[in-house]
A and B are shown apart, each in its own frame.
Chain A
């Protein structure tokens, strides 16, 4: 069947099977490989994208379910001139990534959090990111990056 969705502002169409996952459509059909598959069992959050403005695990949604939806992926996060967005820059500045595998999902979840709660506490950040697993950083610098992206002073929290 044919699906059409708006991905990072542009209308994109393609053929999918009933079983095609949204993440496979994004990666294999649209070649947007920024969205990662870490576990494929709905637990790690590396595949988080926004569907109609809400964070969703794209490995746990059918592409057919996203027909007609607005999708935003990590490829749509940079500023118009190609420079890193505030969230992305904060991850770089505060060493919020090591291998980078979890980062696309972390960035998308962070964007969803800050839209809902522009000045989260450290505890709120940790709670919101419960569904995003990172095997490298130990999370402290991710939390710090998120706090910094929200414009808060991070000089007193979490060691680097």
Chain B
């Protein structure tokens, strides 16, 4: 690992100022960034730890009833503290990695990284969440822009994520057994005005909405409504864990299971 300066601001304002520096990078829980630094895939000159900023930690209910999660809240805290507010989201958080990863890794880090196999992006997209940064609010539909690519500008910090709470929802992950990331994962969320289905782990373009399934489920929220629908293997990931066709098949299976599990 190349060396860097380490700073740990106490307020968001101080962090934003530190991030304005050339080659400064945010450090969330470090569960992705520290392995990348060890592999010399990243070489910031300054790491700005977000771990000391109290205003970025916690789970609460917003004025409009949405579940609001501070950008530096750990997966473990979401698993516990969002369990009553948004159970499917809490359950997703409880299934990320292992306990030690969940005790450090944060929602802001996961969404900023936008790993094509990560869990949280599917929850944010299926919920039509709002990603709040130190400078603006970004709708999930505009936020995810492809593998490891987001709408975030350099130095921008995810401070909070606001999830409208669905009537019913479930996330089903087909685990890649060694890494526990999603080989493919599907988040289904039913709102009063329609159903949203977001798929992670499958596409070379990162997380995406399966619009055909959304249309069918919005008319009839049942596994039956999905009969005859299949996701296209075009643009899906092929790697040693599974082919594009295999992943496309999983999308259908997991969507059905998610609808059945949705509570």
Q: How far is the CA of A95 from the CA of B232 in the complex (A)?
A: 50
* A42–B6 CB distance below 8 A: no
Q: Which of B5, B30, B100, B179 contacts A109 (CB 8 A)?
A: B100
Give the shortest distance, in Å, between B124 (CB) and chain A (any CB): 23
For B47, B99, B101, B180, the residue with the greatest tally of chain A CB atoms inside 10 Å of its CB is B99
* A42–B35 CB distance below 8 A: yes
- Residues of B within 8 Å of A62, CB to CB, are 6, 27, 30, 34, 47, 49
Q: How far is the CA of A43 from the CA of B100 in the complex (A)?
A: 10
- Binary per-residue interface labels of chain A (109-121) against chain B in the complex, 1 for a CB within 8 Å, 0 otherwise: 1001100000000
Which residues of chain B from 179 to 217 have a CB within 8 Å of any chain A CB? 179-180
- Residues of B within 8 Å of A54, CB to CB, are 76, 103
Q: How far is the CA of A131 from the CA of B97 in the complex (A)?
A: 7
Q: How far is the CA of A82 from the CA of B101 in the complex (A)?
A: 31
- Residues of B within 8 Å of A132, CB to CB, are 98
B257 within 8 A of A: no
B8 within 8 A of A: yes
B168 within 8 A of A: no
Which residues of chain B from 1 to 15 have a CB within 8 Å of any chain A CB? 1-6, 8
A1 within 8 A of B: yes
* B100–A18 CB distance below 8 A: no
Which residues of chain A from 1 to 30 have a CB within 8 Å of any chain B CB? 1, 17-19, 21
- Binary per-residue interface labels of chain B (19-32) against chain A in the complex, 1 for a CB within 8 Å, 0 otherwise: 00000000100110
* B100–A19 CB distance below 8 A: no
Considering the complex, give the chain A residue whose CB is closest to the CB of B32. Answer: A42
- With an 8 Å Cβ cutoff, the count of chain A residues facing the other chain is 29
CB-CB under 8 A for A19 and B4, given A55-B103, A57-B101, A131-B100: yes
* A42–B101 CB distance below 8 A: yes
- Residues of A within 8 Å of B30, CB to CB, are 60-62, 65
CB-CB under 8 A for A1 and B6, given A60-B31, A130-B180: yes
- Residues of A within 8 Å of B100, CB to CB, are 45, 48, 55-57, 109, 131
* B35–A60 CB distance below 8 A: yes
- With an 8 Å Cβ cutoff, the count of chain B residues facing the other chain is 28
B51 within 8 A of A: yes
Considering the complex, give the chain B residue whose CB is closest to the CB of A40. Answer: B38
Which residues of chain B from 85 to 141 have a CB within 8 Å of any chain A CB? 97-101, 103-104
- Residues of B within 8 Å of A65, CB to CB, are 8, 27, 30, 49, 51
Q: How far is the CA of A132 from the CA of B99 in the complex (A)?
A: 10
For A48, A113, A130, the residue with the greatest tally of chain B CB atoms inside 10 Å of its CB is A130
Considering the complex, give the chain B residue whose CB is closest to the CB of A1. Answer: B6
- Residues of A within 8 Å of B6, CB to CB, are 1, 18, 62, 64
* A18–B34 CB distance below 8 A: no
Q: How far is the CA of A62 from the CA of B151 in the complex (A)?
A: 28
Q: How far is the CA of A43 from the CA of B31 in the complex (A)?
A: 10
- Residues of A within 8 Å of B97, CB to CB, are 131
- Residues of A within 8 Å of B3, CB to CB, are 17-19
- Residues of B within 8 Å of A128, CB to CB, are 98-99
Q: Which of A18, A40, A43 contacts B5 (CB 8 A)?
A: A18
B231 within 8 A of A: no
Q: List 14 A-B contacts (CB under 8 A).
A: A1-B6, A19-B37, A41-B38, A42-B101, A43-B178, A45-B98, A51-B103, A55-B100, A56-B103, A61-B104, A64-B49, A67-B8, A109-B99, A132-B98
Question: In the complex, given contacts A60-B31, A61-B104, A131-B98, what are 20 additional A-B residue pairs having Cβ atoms less than 8 angstroms apart?
Answer: A19-B4, A21-B34, A41-B35, A42-B35, A42-B101, A43-B178, A54-B76, A55-B100, A55-B103, A56-B103, A57-B104, A61-B30, A61-B34, A62-B34, A65-B8, A65-B51, A109-B99, A130-B98, A131-B97, A131-B99
